[in-house]
Structure 1
Amino acid sequence: MHELIYYYLTRVAPTWEVTWFFILHGIAMPAEVVVKKVVPEKMRLHPAVSSVLTLGFVAVTVNWLFLPQLARNGVEENIIEEYSKLMDLFKGLLPF
Structure 2
Amino acid sequence: MTLDEFRGSVTQPAPPTPLPKPLEALWWDAKGDWNRAHEAAQAGEDADSAWVHAYLHRKEGDLSNAAYWYRRAGRAPPATSLPDEWTSIARDVLA
Please report the TM-score for the alignment, with normalisation by the length of structure 1. Answer: 0.28
The structure whose residues are more often helix, as a share, is 1
